[in-house]
């Protein structure tokens, strides 16, 4: 059994995999991570390996309480990966993006794949049919867009994300919702269309915390997979052990 730990900017995700299958997962605030992990370790006696990927505020030293009997991988730029990385600055490539590409390499071999992760940031990552990662893009996520409108203007309120009933905003609040949500949907749609112009038989994966909100409004055929990053981390763990 494998223990997967993904520390994001706002929350942490943990999962249990056995023979490549996801058995259990949880998403929780950073403050609840340690007691939850201790509970899981106590319950799952067959755990053998653990992988840790953190882009959030929790550092690697936080996990010193994990049993030393667990074979541990901490994802970094030096970690072995199941694809060829042609990114010009591999040391700056986020471990979350590495995991997403690893999942694409595992689940869609010999395919051109664009992975879109709708989280704190919107990331676009492309791996071609030759198993080569070529790069992608990083854009502000939904929450960042709402916060930017509020923080950098004098009078606009800070709103919670909401799918507007109509693209035509008829109040300040509905105009903000329309601008943020439809603006992002059109951005994602435009990126997909651009990739499709340059890469045939493109497979598009949408994942991340805001994927559910966005997926129904996108025109192109996409595969929504909320567990894509966890699958990728498990693949990296297996690849290195």
Per the annotation, the verdict on 60 as an active-site residue is no
Of 6, 96, 125, 210, the active-site residue reads 96
Instruction: Mention every residue, 6+ apart, whose C-beta is less than 8 A from residue 96.
Output: 6, 8, 53, 55, 117, 119, 123, 229
Task: Indicate the DSSP class of residue 161.
Answer: -
In whole angstroms, what is the distance from residue 181 CA to residue 63 CA? 37
The alpha carbon torsion through 71, 106, 102, 129 (nearest 10 deg) reads: 150
Within 10 angstroms of residue 36's Cβ, the number of other Cβ atoms is 14
C-alpha distances out from residue 23 to 55, 169, 208, 227, 234, Å: 24, 43, 19, 12, 12
| Matching residue, tokens 């882009």 | 55
Strand, helix or coil at 32?
Answer: helix
The alpha carbon torsion through 192, 195, 197, 202 (nearest 10 deg) reads: -90
Task: Indicate the DSSP class of residue 227.
Answer: T
Q: What residues are annotated to the active site?
A: 96
């Amino acid at each position: 059994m494998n223990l997967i730990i993904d520390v994001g900017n706002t929350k942490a995700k943990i999962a249990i995999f056995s023979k490549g299958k996801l058995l259990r997962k949880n998403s929780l605030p950073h403050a609840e991570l340690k007691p939850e992990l201790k509970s899981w370790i106590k319950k799952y006696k067959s755990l053998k390996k653990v992988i840790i990927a953190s882009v959030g505020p929790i550092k690697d030293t936080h996990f010193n309480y994990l049993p030393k009997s667990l074979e541990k991988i901490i994802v970094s730029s030096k970690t072995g990966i199941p694809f060829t990385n042609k990114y010009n600055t591999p040391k700056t490539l986020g471990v979350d993006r590495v995991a997403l590409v690893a999942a694409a390499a595992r689940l869609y071999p010999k395919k051109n794949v664009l992975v879109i992760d709708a989280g704190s940031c919107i990331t676009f990552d492309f791996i071609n049919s030759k198993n080569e990662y070529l790069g992608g893009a990083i854009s502000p996520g939904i929450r960042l867009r709402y916060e930017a409108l509020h923080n950098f203007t004098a009078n606009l309120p800070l709103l919670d994300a909401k799918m507007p009933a109509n693209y035509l905003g008829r109040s300040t609040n509905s105009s903000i919702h329309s601008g943020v949500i439809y603006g992002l949907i059109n951005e994602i749609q435009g990126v997909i269309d651009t990739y499709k112009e340059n890469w045939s038989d493109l497979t598009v994966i949408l994942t991340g915390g805001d994927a559910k909100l966005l997926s129904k409004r996108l025109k192109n055929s996409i595969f929504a997979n909320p567990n894509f990053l966890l699958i990728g981390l498990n693949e990296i763990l297996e690849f290195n052990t």
